[in-house]
Chain A
Amino acid sequence: MLRSYQYTEKSYLDVSVQNNYFRNKEIDIAKEYVNAHPSSKNSKKECPVCHIPSGEYYYTKWGVDYLCCMNCRSIYAVCDDSIAKDYQNLSELITLRVDKTYQNELLKNREEMWGEFIEWAEYRAFRFLRKNKGLNIVDIGNRMEGYSNMIKAAPFCERYDLRDSILCSDSHTINKGEADIVFWFDQLQKELNPSEKISMIRKELKECGLLFVGTRAGSGFDIITLKEKNTNIYPYEHILLVSVKGLTKLLEDNGFEVLEITTPGVMDVKYVKESIEEVGDREGFVRYLLEESSPGILQDFQRFLQKGCLSSFVRVIARRI
């Protein structure tokens, strides 16, 4: 398995990939829904990755308990699956997210990042498939129209199907077992039954086809440091925060060989810096580091997180076996 990291001289401390107005709207909708649909304390407490009751209390956010699996170090919410699923289908949330202005803001803030991802994906496709032309791509759960359009137009893409997306109804030009690559980004964090979902995804792929997964990682710096004070992580938007170890196990247990694992996140330090006051003296060293260090040192620290697989955005390439 390869371990890698991405680095740029560009500082992300003053860069935002989110529009605050829309982000606050999303948080308000989520909070209101959680308040109206509290999870039962008797909900399943098994780790969704290890399938054993190995979780210990980690923190509570908006009345929802999060546990940390002592086996794989993944973090997960104690909540009812049906309530979490209903949250995903909440019409108010979907209406907000499909709105033209919302989508335009995403494009404005993330176009460069998406472009870099597509170049990277093209190279990695060649590395593991020995071809980067004429590929069948299934994209699962993508809710960013600009991103979807860029993938569709990418030089390596022959046929493109978007599934489980709020943007449109499923397209089925690629049959089961015909996909060269499945993209599954920012979805795993919403799953309490990830094994079931991964088994379904596996069926989409050709023998030796590639699964590209990206998700928030519970082993990442800002998530472990900020816990319930993390303004970017909340129920029921994030109910499973797999660790790097947990994600590897999840894929290996469900018929995949993990080829490459990275945490190319760029925002950990920024997120912690923004909320460090909330944490108080619980994280004395981190507070000192963030308050006293120069921007250059903080950039180096983010690089260290990437290199050590310690950022909270994890990306994996796995091969169907």
Chain B
Amino acid sequence: MQQFNTVIIGMGRMGRTRYQEMTRHGGFNITGVCDNNLECIQDYSGNKYSDWKECIDNEQPEVVVVCTVNAVIPDIVCYALDKGCHVFSEKPPGRNLKDTLRMKEKYDKTNGLVLKFGFNHRYHNSIIEAKSLIDSGFLGDVVAARGVYGKAANLMRDEWRNNIDIAGGGILLDQGIHMLDLLRYFVGDFSEISGFTDNLVWKESAGEDTAFATMRTQDGKVATLHSSAIQWKHKFDLDIMLTDGYIALNGLLTSTKSYGEESITYYKKDLEIKSGKIGNPKEYTMCFDEDSSWELEIKEFYDALTGRGIVENGTIEDATQVMSLIDKVYKKNND
């Protein structure tokens, strides 16, 4: 198996997850890890750095994996691309659209490099099934979607995520971005968006605890998003309305299982009442007890590196589109 010399910058929770998955995959030779908190890297073999520039300069890797806080993502991504490295970066792609466009501009000037962002939700089983169901045409065409993504968060806790200068935004940028990406994935590119953010509970927080958005595509498909840090429990629900049926995605399988069982339910419209009761069509449900999302995401990145595939998910275009939507909601709020 071809191995790529790799460094991971940022060894917090996501860095450790990527380290494990890339090691398990076998196609990455992780020669160095970097974190400004040395406690985070003391247990890892290989060279250890607290300065990301030094890490890239010394290791001269083929692949740079960026798992840092939002504020430094664009600097590292651009520097790595300049050095001719392939890059895998966590979401969000920077703190704002300007950050993302900076990376896009840099990437557009490269030739043959791979750049992928970690929109990991696309690799969950329920999402894969839903995409396949939609693409099969079995339920007709998508016309509308409604996404709710919520968590129980303390926005006053002392952590980088709650520092607006480092994070760039609140719940919409941190978590809602995944649901926005999925809405784009299933419905299409949105040409219109209206929405607002608010601090309904965490009044002193610089980042919002609530965001609502309504979007429409050029051809009239509609989607709504409710992103919440004040759900007070973890919740993931995505409903997709099609011309001949309906798909509901509920729950998301995570290591803590706090988002509940991951499932997809679908049914065909049954206006002739074959099921025997009006409004109760026959449902088909799939539920999943394995999360292969990390593995599949890294596999796609590796296949793109070896030329066996391309980056289909988490492209710079995906990143730009979704950050553009978030940018518009934040701007409307500030108007």
Residue ranges of A at the interface with B (Cβ–Cβ < 8 Å)? 1-10, 112, 116, 119-120, 122-123, 126-127, 132, 307
- B133 near A123: Cβ-Cβ < 8 Å: yes
Given contacts A6-B285, A127-B132, 12 further A-B contacts (CB under 8 A): A2-B286, A3-B286, A6-B282, A6-B283, A7-B282, A112-B274, A119-B268, A122-B136, A122-B138, A123-B133, A123-B136, A307-B285
Give B234-273 interface residues, CB cut-off 8 Å to A.
Answer: 268
- B283 near A132: Cβ-Cβ < 8 Å: no
Q: Which residues of A contact B23 (CB under 8 A)?
A: none
Task: Report the interface size for chain B: residues with CB under 8 A from the other chain.
Answer: 22
- A10 near B282: Cβ-Cβ < 8 Å: yes
- B275 near A9: Cβ-Cβ < 8 Å: yes
Taking the closest CB of chain B, its distance from the CB of A11, in whole angstroms, is 9
Q: Which residues of B contact A120 (CB under 8 A)?
A: 284
Give the docked Cα–Cα distance between A8 and B280 (Å).
8
Taking the closest CB of chain A, its distance from the CB of B296, in whole angstroms, is 14
Q: Which residues of A contact B277 (CB under 8 A)?
A: 9-10
Taking the closest CB of chain B, its distance from the CB of A316, in whole angstroms, is 14
Tell whether B135 is near chain A: CB-to-CB under 8 Å: yes
Q: What residue of chain B has the Cβ atom nearest to residue A4's Cβ?
A: B286
- B129 near A7: Cβ-Cβ < 8 Å: no
Given contacts A9-B276, A10-B276, A119-B138, contact A126 B286 (CB under 8 A): no
Partner of B282, one of A1, A3, A8, A123: A8
Partner of A8, one of B136, B283, B290: B283
A-B contact pairs, 18 of them (CB 8 A): A2-B288, A3-B287, A7-B282, A7-B283, A7-B284, A8-B282, A9-B276, A9-B277, A10-B282, A122-B136, A122-B138, A123-B138, A126-B138, A127-B132, A127-B133, A127-B136, A307-B285, A307-B287
Give the docked Cα–Cα distance between A10 and B273 (Å).
11
Residue ranges of B at the interface with A (Cβ–Cβ < 8 Å)? 125, 129, 132-133, 135-136, 138, 268, 274-277, 280, 282-290
Q: Which residues of B contact A4 (CB under 8 A)?
A: 284-287
Q: What residue of chain A has the Cβ atom nearest to residue B274's Cβ?
A: A112
- B285 near A126: Cβ-Cβ < 8 Å: no
Q: Which residues of A contact B125 (CB under 8 A)?
A: 2
Q: What residue of chain B has the Cβ atom nearest to residue A128's Cβ?
A: B132
Q: Which residues of B contact A1 (CB under 8 A)?
A: 290
- B136 near A5: Cβ-Cβ < 8 Å: no
Q: Which residues of B contact A3 (CB under 8 A)?
A: 286-289
Q: What residue of chain B has the Cβ atom nearest to residue A7's Cβ?
A: B283
Q: Which residues of B contact A8 (CB under 8 A)?
A: 275, 282-283
Q: Which residues of B contact A307 (CB under 8 A)?
A: 285, 287
Taking the closest CB of chain A, its distance from the CB of B99, in whole angstroms, is 36
Give the docked Cα–Cα distance between A6 and B195 (Å).
37
Taking the closest CB of chain B, its distance from the CB of A4, in whole angstroms, is 4
Taking the closest CB of chain B, its distance from the CB of A13, in whole angstroms, is 13
Most central of A1, A3, A5, A123 by chain B CB within 10 Å: A123
Given contacts A5-B287, A10-B282, contact A132 B136 (CB under 8 A): yes
Taking the closest CB of chain B, its distance from the CB of A1, in whole angstroms, is 7
- B290 near A10: Cβ-Cβ < 8 Å: no
Q: Which residues of A contact B268 (CB under 8 A)?
A: 119
Taking the closest CB of chain A, its distance from the CB of B114, in whole angstroms, is 24
- A5 near B288: Cβ-Cβ < 8 Å: no
- B280 near A9: Cβ-Cβ < 8 Å: yes
Give the docked Cα–Cα distance between A120 and B267 (Å).
11
- B285 near A7: Cβ-Cβ < 8 Å: yes
Q: Which residues of A contact B290 (CB under 8 A)?
A: 1
Q: What residue of chain A has the Cβ atom nearest to residue B288's Cβ?
A: A2
Taking the closest CB of chain B, its distance from the CB of A120, in whole angstroms, is 7
Partner of A5, one of B129, B285, B289: B285
Q: Which residues of A contact B136 (CB under 8 A)?
A: 122-123, 126-127, 132
Q: Which residues of B contact A126 (CB under 8 A)?
A: 132, 135-136, 138
Q: Which residues of A contact B276 (CB under 8 A)?
A: 9-10
Taking the closest CB of chain B, its distance from the CB of A108, in whole angstroms, is 16
Q: Which residues of A contact B284 (CB under 8 A)?
A: 4, 6-7, 120
Q: What residue of chain B has the Cβ atom nearest to residue A120's Cβ?
A: B284
Give the docked Cα–Cα distance between A3 and B263 (Å).
10
Taking the closest CB of chain B, its distance from the CB of A214, in whole angstroms, is 16
Taking the closest CB of chain A, its distance from the CB of B242, in whole angstroms, is 13
Give the docked Cα–Cα distance between A132 and B289 (Å).
27
The 8 A-B pairs with the shortest beta carbon distances in the complex, nearest first, are A4-B286, A126-B136, A9-B280, A8-B282, A127-B132, A123-B138, A6-B284, A10-B276
Give the docked Cα–Cα distance between A2 and B286 (Å).
8
Taking the closest CB of chain A, its distance from the CB of B234, in whole angstroms, is 22
Q: Which residues of A contact B138 (CB under 8 A)?
A: 119, 122-123, 126
Q: What residue of chain A has the Cβ atom nearest to residue B279's Cβ?
A: A9
Taking the closest CB of chain A, its distance from the CB of B125, in whole angstroms, is 7
Most central of A6, A8, A132 by chain B CB within 10 Å: A8
Give the docked Cα–Cα distance between A307 and B283 (Å).
13
Give the docked Cα–Cα distance between A127 and B138 (Å).
11
